[in-house]
Amino acid sequence: MRRIALRLTLFVVGLALLTGCATPVVESGLDARLRDLIETAGLTGDPARGRDLPEISDPVPQLGMQLFFTMALSGKQDAACVSCHHPYLGGGDAIPLSIGVDADQPELLGPGRTHPEGPLVPRNAPTTFNAGLWDRFLFHDGRVESLGKTPGANGADGYGIRTPDRPWGYPDVLAGPNLVVAQARFPVTSEEEMRGFDFGNGHGNGNEVRNALTRELLAEIIAAGAPSANWLPEFQRAFASEADAATLITFENIAYAIGEYERSQVFVETPWKAYFEGDVDALGEAAKRGALLFFQTPAEGGANCASCHSGDFFTDEQFHVLAVPQIGVGKDSGLYGDDDWGRALETHRDDDRYAFRTPTLLNVEVTAPYGHDGAYATLEAIVRHHLNPEAAVAAYAFDQLDPSIRVTNAVENTQRALGQWRRLRDLGYPTVTVLALDDGQVADLVAFLEALTDPCVKDRACLDAWVPGDGLADPDGRRLNATFSVLP
């Protein structure tokens, strides 16, 4: 931290010299307090520091971008990864619950994307931005898990990665080199996301067999492809190899390339980081006050956010019960199957029921709606939920939701989640503290969250490096050319 203090001083002196100003800029009391908190928390300001992450201009991420945008990887050729993870939509889909196959207009993304039966995916699509910064778990319930959990490794630490294809605690030998690549093997096997409800039926029982067959068939689709299909040169270029399609166009290589594309989505150049680098004015006063609230404990007058949203990536990568309203089709939980037990679906522990992974807060400004099921439309609303889950649930307007979102037992399911929150709180589990912040303090917290945005994620020209342009081949003619009814 001394280094930062020194850099701040140098910056201030430099500024004074440059402007010829006699009185050097004096740090405010806010800055001094914030520096203490930063020091105590051991932050560096740079969540990507020391990580081995690809550049988008590298050949493998370029192939990954082509694959991420092709609908040929879905059973009905009508959904792509990008259907739910578009760079212009903060790396997500900007709707509460995702819509994959059978969308009314497959290429319409974001608000306005509809499905005849309403969204069938049980959860909100997290951003793919900064996917290479996770070290422990992917998915809201952590079902892709690094067994080593080595900081900075993104799962690539030699201890193996557990996936839904393997029993609890066992590594999946097919997982690939890191968490992001391991995750990329699953959306295509999910009926409502990409596989479709007819594809690969009659090929035996059990997830493992089904997934293996799906993978093979998908590789065939790509190899045989639509009439214009010509993936081989793209794979040969990416992997610098002359090998044939059977060797190169494997699902393992597909997942690897997609994963490398996602891992190249590093968006960490935030005002918060600039502040660490010596630019005291990178944060406004409100954001600085918000930062104090964020890092301070309730005893110090703070909101304790950093107890869970910890470290430079703003997450402890653990699971907590917040009782965010439970909406949508749910995930095979509870009496009617429309509840979502979160982490407990993996661990089968009662105390993990309704626990979800702490999200990162980097770029959270552009990833609305919020919560594991997108129940809250605004940052202010999800922040207020944290400050008093009971009051927030009581005020939640289930009847104002988009009518296509299923809410059959949503009120009861949410009450169960709230009961679990109370139970764990009384047992002494770390959880959110009920706090009476005034409106100004809530606004300060939101201002701080907005200072965690890399300007690139709000700039289409900057993001275009991650969107295939005319110069990049569309090898099967199935590239999703997104249209938007509302562009954030």
DSSP 8-state code for residue 124: P
Whichever of 8 and 234 has its CB closer to ligand HEC, that residue is 234
Q: Least distance from C-beta 44 to ligand HEC, angstroms?
A: 21
Q: Least distance from C-beta 202 to ligand HEC, angstroms?
A: 24
Whichever of 87 and 100 has its CB closer to ligand HEC, that residue is 100
Whichever of 180 and 456 has its CB closer to ligand HEC, that residue is 180
What six digits make up the tokens of 338? 């429309």
Whichever of 83 and 347 has its CB closer to ligand HEC, that residue is 83
Whichever of 166 and 372 has its CB closer to ligand HEC, that residue is 372
Whichever of 229 and 345 has its CB closer to ligand HEC, that residue is 345
Cα distance between residue 317 and residue 146, in whole Å: 11
Amino acid letter, residue 331? K
Cα distance between residue 263 and residue 198, in whole Å: 32
What six digits make up the tokens of 139? 């998915």
Q: Taking a C-beta distance cutoff of 8 angstroms, is the pair 208, 165 a contact?
A: yes
Cα distance between residue 344 and residue 409, in whole Å: 19
What six digits make up the tokens of 487? 């562009």
Q: Least distance from C-beta 319 to ligand HEC, angstroms?
A: 7
**Residues making contact with ligand HEC (CB under 6 A):** 79, 81, 83-85, 98, 100, 121, 123, 125-126, 128, 131, 138-141, 180, 183-184, 187-188, 193-194, 258, 262, 303-305, 307-309, 320, 322, 324, 356, 358-359, 361, 364, 367, 370-372, 379, 382-383, 386, 430-432, 445, 449
Whichever of 70 and 409 has its CB closer to ligand HEC, that residue is 70
Whichever of 8 and 221 has its CB closer to ligand HEC, that residue is 221
Q: What is the largest CA-CA distance in the chain?
A: 80
Cα distance between residue 215 and residue 91, in whole Å: 24
Q: Least distance from C-beta 223 to ligand HEC, angstroms?
A: 17
- What is 210-223 written as a DSSP string? HHHHHHHHHHHHHH
Query: Residue 408 burial (CB < 10 Å; 0-12/13-18/19+)?
Result: exposed
Amino acid letter, residue 453? T
Q: Least distance from C-beta 269 to ligand HEC, angstroms?
A: 19
Q: Least distance from C-beta 176 to ligand HEC, angstroms?
A: 12
What six digits make up the tokens of 318? 């653990």
Q: Least distance from C-beta 63 to ligand HEC, angstroms?
A: 13
What six digits make up the tokens of 288? 């600085």
Distance linking the first and last C-alpha atoms of the chain: 37
Q: Taking a C-beta distance cutoff of 8 angstroms, is the pair 287, 447 a contact?
A: yes
Q: Least distance from C-beta 281 to ligand HEC, angstroms?
A: 23
**Of 419, 424, 412, 418, nearest in space to 338 by CA:** 412
Q: Across the strands, what pairs with 320?
A: 356
Whichever of 163 and 183 has its CB closer to ligand HEC, that residue is 183
Q: How many CB atoms lie within 10 A of CB 197?
A: 12
Q: Least distance from C-beta 316 to ligand HEC, angstroms?
A: 8
Q: Least distance from C-beta 10 to ligand HEC, angstroms?
A: 32
For 153, 183, 428, the CA distances from 58, given in Å and listed in that order, are 20, 21, 48
Query: Residue 428 burial (CB < 10 Å; 0-12/13-18/19+)?
Result: exposed
Whichever of 77 and 358 has its CB closer to ligand HEC, that residue is 358
What six digits make up the tokens of 469? 């342009």
Whichever of 259 and 278 has its CB closer to ligand HEC, that residue is 259
Q: Least distance from C-beta 271 to ligand HEC, angstroms?
A: 17
How many CA atoms, within 13 angstroms, populate the side-chain half-sphere of residue 470?
0
Helix axes 285-295, 439-450, angle to 10 degrees: 100
